[in-house]
Amino acid sequence: LDYQHVQVPFEITLWIMLASLAKIGFHLYNKLPSVVPESCLLIFVGLIMGGIIYGLNDKSPPVMDSDIFFLYLLPPIVLDAGYFMPSRPFFENIGTILLYAVVGTIWNVFGIGCSLYGICQVKAFRLQDVSLLHNLLFGSLIAAVDPVAVLAVFEEIHVNEKLHVLVFGESLLNDAVTVVLYKLFRSFCEMSTINSVDIFVGVGKFFVVGLGGVLVGLTFGLTAAFTTRFTKDIRVIEPLFVFLYSYLSYLTAEMFHLSGIVAIIACAMGMKRYVEANISLKSHTTVKYFMKMWSSVSDTLIFIFLGVSTIGENHEWNWPYICFTVIFCLIWRALGVLVLTFFVNRFHVNTITSKDQFIIAYGGLRGAICFSLVFLLPDFHRKKLFIAATTVVILFTVFIQGMTIRPLVDLLAVKRERESAPTVGEQIHIRFLDHLLAGIEDISGHWGQYYWKDKLEYFNSKYLQKILLREHDQPKSSIVLLYEKLERKHAIELAEAGQLGHAPSHPSLLRSGFLCSNNNRTAITDKKLEDTLNPAVLENIQEILARNLYRIRRTGPAYNRHTLPGEAEPVEHAEEILILRHKSL
C-alpha cells in the first residue's frame, strides 16, 4: 500500500465526492431543502464530520486554509456570479449598489468597531486590553456581507430581481472596501505611531484597489474575447479560455493587492457577450454547465469546511463580547440601510419600499470570507476571542437569518421574481424606451445612464465588435439570438415529442411529414426486425414505426406489378393504421 504517493489528489477527490454525495442526499428528500437552506445542512454535515475527526484524533480538526479558500474555492463562485449576473438591473442600480457597498460597509466597520470598543471599556467584562484599533480591525472583517452565503440563500427564495441584485451586488463589490480597510487596520496595528498621511493614503487606496480591479478584469476579459476569435478550427479548447483568463485576472489582481473579486466580475461581464458570439453552441453549453458545476462544488466545500473548522479548541469564550457583536452587526446594518435608502429614494422614481429595506438589512449574511480573514490575523493574545465571535456571527446569520428569511418573505409578501422570461414584445418595447430616453437625455443635456449606455453601445458596435468578433459583418441582436434559441428549443421539443409520444398536442405536426428525410433512413422491413430483436426492443421500435413510418410507406409504396404508382387503396390503409395503432396501444 502506497498511500503517501497519492495522498494529495486522493484526499481532494474524496472531499469533493463527500460534498457531491451530501448534495444528492439532501435532494432525495424533497421536503428538507424546502425548509432548511442547503447551506445550513452543509454546515451541519461539516459539524458532524468535525466532531468525528475531533473524537477520533482527540485534537482539533484542520481548519480551512485561507490560501485554499482565496485561491481555489472562491474564484469559481465569483466567476459564476459575474458571468450570470443580470447586467441590466445591475447597471440600472449600480449607484445604489456602490453606495451600499462602499459607504454602507465603512459605516458598518466604524459603527461595529467603535461600539465594541465602548463595550470593552466596561470593567465587569474584563476586556480592557482590546484596543480601539483591534476592535476596528475586527469590525472590518465582520462588517462585510458575504457573497457565497447571500447567493446560497437568495437563490432559493426567489425575490424580485432588483432586490436580489442590490444585496448580491453589494456583497460582491464590498470586497474592495473590505480588502483596503482590513489591510489598513492590520498594518496600523503593527505600527507604533500612525501619521495622518497614512490615513490619506488609505483613502486613496480605495480607488486604486477598486478601479484597478476593474481595469485588470476588463483587460483580461477583452483579451479572452479576442483569443476566441481564432478558435474556429479547434473548438474543443474554447471553453478553456473562459476559465483561464478569468482565473488569471483574479490572480493578477491579487498579486498587485487589488480586489480579485472585482477583477473577476469585470472580466466575466466584459467577455461574456463577445465570447458567446464567437464560440460554438456546444462550447457554450460546456462553459455554462461547468461553471455552474464548479461553483456549486466550491460552495458545498466551503460550507462543509466551515462546519469542520468550527469544531476544536480555537475559541475563547466571552459572553458579553460575543453577544454584543451579534447585536451590533444587526443594529448597524439596519441603521445603515435605513439612512442610505432614505438618500437613495430621494433621487429615484422607483423607490425601495420599506419591505425591501427590511429584507436588504436582514439578508446581510456573513460567511466564509470573514472566517478566512480572521484566521489570517497576526497572532495576538485575543485572536481566539475574535475567532469565536466570528464563528458565532456566521452561524447566527446563516442558521437563524437564513432559515427565517423565507417565511418572512412570504409573510411580508415581498414582490417575487417573475415566473416567465420577458416576451419578445416586451424586450422590443424596453429597447424602444431605451432609445427614446437616450434621445430625451441628449436633448435635455442631462447625461444620465441612458445617454452613457447609448454612447457605450455605439462605441461597442463601431469598434469593439469589429476587433473582438469573428464574423463582424454579422452582429446579431439579442432579439435575433432569442428567436434562434426559441426555434432550436422548439425543434428539439418537436423531435422528442415525436419519439416519446407524450405530446398529444403535436399530432398534426407529427403527421404533417416534416420528419420524412429521417424516416427514409429507418424505412427497413418489419419482418427482419421481428426475427432478430428481443421483445422489449421490438416493442419500442414498433411504437415508433406505428407513429411515424406509415406515411412514408404510403408516399413510397413498394413496387407491385398489379398496381400503378399512386393507386393507393384508402380502405386497406385505414385498416392497416388501425391494426398498428391497436398493437401499439
**Nearest-approach distance from CB 165 to its own copies, in angstroms:** 22
Q: Which of 256, 342, 343, 459 binds its own copies (CB under 8 A)?
A: 256
286 binds its own copies (CB under 8 A): yes
Nine-digit cell string for 548: 411515424
- Residues with Cβ within 8 Å of 48's Cβ and at least 6 positions away in sequence, in order, are 307
Beta bridge partners of 159: 416
Q: Which stretch binds its own copies (CB under 8 A): 99-107, 366-374, 441-449, 515-523?
A: 515-523
- Residues with Cβ within 8 Å of 526's Cβ and at least 6 positions away in sequence, in order, are 542, 545
Positions in 26-65 near its own copies (CB under 8 A) = 27-28, 30
Q: Which stretch binds its own copies (CB under 8 A): 83-91, 122-130, 280-288, 360-368?
A: 280-288
Positions in 532-571 near its own copies (CB under 8 A) = 532-534, 536-537, 540-541, 544
257 binds its own copies (CB under 8 A): yes
**Nearest-approach distance from CB 153 to its own copies, in angstroms:** 18
Whichever of 317 and 432 has its CB closer to its own copies, that residue is 432
Neighbours of 29 (CB within 10 A): 9
Q: What is the rounded radius of gyration, in angstroms, for the C-alpha atoms of the chain?
A: 30
Measured CA to CA, the distance from residue 317 to residue 195 in angstroms comes to 35
Backbone region of residue 257 per phi and psi (left: phi > 0; alpha: psi in -120 to 50; beta: other values): left
Contact (Cβ atoms closer than 8 angstroms) between residue 97 and residue 166 = yes
Whichever of 72 and 125 has its CB closer to its own copies, that residue is 72
| Site size with its own copies, rule: CB under 8 A | 99
DSSP 36: S
Measured CA to CA, the distance from residue 549 to residue 486 in angstroms comes to 28
Whichever of 183 and 355 has its CB closer to its own copies, that residue is 183
71 binds its own copies (CB under 8 A): yes
Q: Which of 121, 187, 285, 555 binds its own copies (CB under 8 A)?
A: 285
**Nearest-approach distance from CB 179 to its own copies, in angstroms:** 12
Q: Which stretch binds its own copies (CB under 8 A): 145-153, 385-393, 518-526, 564-572?
A: 518-526
**Nearest-approach distance from CB 307 to its own copies, in angstroms:** 19
Contact (Cβ atoms closer than 8 angstroms) between residue 162 and residue 90 = no
Measured CA to CA, the distance from residue 510 to residue 294 in angstroms comes to 40
Measured CA to CA, the distance from residue 126 to residue 6 in angstroms comes to 50
Q: Which stretch binds its own copies (CB under 8 A): 19-27, 81-89, 264-272, 445-453?
A: 19-27
DSSP per residue over 115-181, as a string? HHHHHHT-GGGT-TTS-HHHHHHHHHHHSSPPHHHHHHHHHHH-B-HHHHHHHHHHHHHHHHHHHHH
Whichever of 126 and 490 has its CB closer to its own copies, that residue is 490
Nine-digit cell string for 34: 424546502
Q: Which stretch binds its own copies (CB under 8 A): 135-143, 175-183, 194-202, 475-483?
A: 475-483
Contact (Cβ atoms closer than 8 angstroms) between residue 61 and residue 294 = no
* SS3 of the chain: helix, strand, coil, percent, to 5: 80, 0, 20
Measured CA to CA, the distance from residue 359 to residue 418 in angstroms comes to 18
**Nearest-approach distance from CB 413 to its own copies, in angstroms:** 28
**Nearest-approach distance from CB 424 to its own copies, in angstroms:** 5
440 binds its own copies (CB under 8 A): no
Positions in 404-423 near its own copies (CB under 8 A) = 423
Q: Which of 316, 509, 526, 577 binds its own copies (CB under 8 A)?
A: 509
Q: What is the 3-state secondary structure (H, E, C) of 23-34?
A: HHHHHHCCHHHH
Cα angle vertex 555, ends 554, 556, to 5°? Answer: 90
Whichever of 17 and 122 has its CB closer to its own copies, that residue is 17
Positions in 190-249 near its own copies (CB under 8 A) = 227, 230-231, 233-234, 236-237, 239-241, 244, 247-248
Positions in 290-319 near its own copies (CB under 8 A) = 290, 292-293, 296-297
518 binds its own copies (CB under 8 A): yes
Q: Which stretch binds its own copies (CB under 8 A): 104-112, 528-536, 556-564, 567-575?
A: 528-536
